[in-house]
Amino acid sequence: MKQTECTTILVGKNATIDGSTMIARSEDGGRTIIPERFDVVMPADQPKHYEAVISHQKIDDADLLDNPMRYTSAPDASGKNGIWAAAGINSDNVAMTATETITTNARIQGIDPLLTEGGLGEEDFVTLTLPYIHSPKEGVERVGYLLEKYGTYEMNGMAFSDKDEIWYLETVGGHHWIARRIPDDAYVVAPNRLNIDEFDFESEDFMSSSDLKNLIEEYQLNPDQDGYNMRHIFGSATIKDAHYNNPRAWYVHKYFDPEFKGQPGDQDQPFITYAKKKISIEDIKFIESSHYQDTPFDAYGDMGTPEQKKTFRPIGINRNFETHILQVRNDVPAEIAGVQWLAFGPNTFNSMVPFYTNITTTPASFQTGPKFDLNKIFWLNKLAAQLGDTNFRVYGALEEDFEQKSLAQCHKIQHETDKEVAGLSGSELEAKLNEANQKMADTVYNNTVELLGNMVNEGHGLMTLKYDLLD
């Protein structure tokens, strides 16, 4: 099992509307539905011994440090293929999302091939990293250590943040890696390709495995006349990229900068980019839900031909199973700064919920099980999306109203809670935040049930199987 088709968005603190850092990713899969849940992992529950389910790689107990922190996660509900914790925020307000599946090329694979036995992958990285790190840079160092010691069998990108910094790391071959600090006033969109471009080995804003520069020189891997472009050196520029990956970045750039020059298939769209406005949670949710609206490539639109509507892979897709925005705020006390915005199912028919992460439990409706169960928001959202897909022109307007209503109500609960918990600490504070999370989860669950009812009412007269003597 593999989550292979994600889209990552990173926004520095000076590029957001409220001065927070935001790292986001839609966790997408294949044709098989992969139910996701929301958990909080207490230090006592962190594994004392670890063996990967997929690769059977065992981790030395000494590398499972004896002082893990509490952290949130969004693991696969079944657990049969491992944990796949996906994303979370720990008790030090350090966030991590992992992983974005990325591309490679034959040149590096001929030097440092991906492992065919053992190694770590998306299944493992959050569980082995997030409970042990106290800064984004420590996250890079921790993953770099694990990659160099144990190796990997797949190419992945991942991000780390706190209230001040965001770092993005990509694996290179079986044991090498690169990372870059995202400028505070910039944003990044990273689809399923190797994304880091310009790289400066002399700058403190860049990190890599220690022998990487020598490896590039020894094996003559750099195709450029000057400088180092890691996408050119280690990545790909294929026809698949032009249809599957690059158009997603193009659409995001056009959204944030209507004057952005370029075409959907362009191979060299920039990694570090700058928006014309401050970026909000709502902007990121729109992007993660997008399907090329107002272009000929929108599967739900009426501007393009049937062929054009199938040309490019959208960000919002039926294979969205879990989407998160990990926000670390700068305008509130540290005890309430971490917020894991979370939505399950296809993003065209769901709403984000801003869960506080200084908690001891999660709402029951977000504790998904592997079997279809309409008491769980994951399955309710899947049902809404599949019904909505039958006539987006009719149901899309209902979804917009539902999402605006849900986000407004969650914002209100969050504003009220931020004020109510002032001066609280310890278990008393955690209890209040658990209560607020439950209230927001209940609100969005009830709104989703209401949305389904409205869809049924609107769709009743649109069914093909009907007969009326007046027809």
- Catalytically active residues, by annotation: 6
Q: CA 270, CA 263: separation in Å to the nearest integer?
A: 13
User: Residue 99, preceding bond cis, omega within 30 degrees?
Assistant: yes
3-state SS assignment for residue 31: coil
Q: What is the DSSP letter of 349?
A: G
The encoded tokens of residue 317 equal 């897709």
Q: How far from the centroid of its chain's Cα atoms is residue 90's Cα?
A: 16
First-to-last C-alpha distance (Å) of the chain: 50
Beta partners for residue 172, in sequence order:
176
Q: What is the DSSP letter of 224?
A: S
Amino acid letter for position 168: Y
Beta partners for residue 171, in sequence order:
177
- Contact between residue 72 and residue 94 where contact means Cβ atoms under 8 Å apart: no
The encoded tokens of residue 390 equal 């039958």
Beta partners for residue 433, in sequence order:
none
The encoded tokens of residue 12 equal 């520095």
CB atoms within 10 A of CB 259: 6
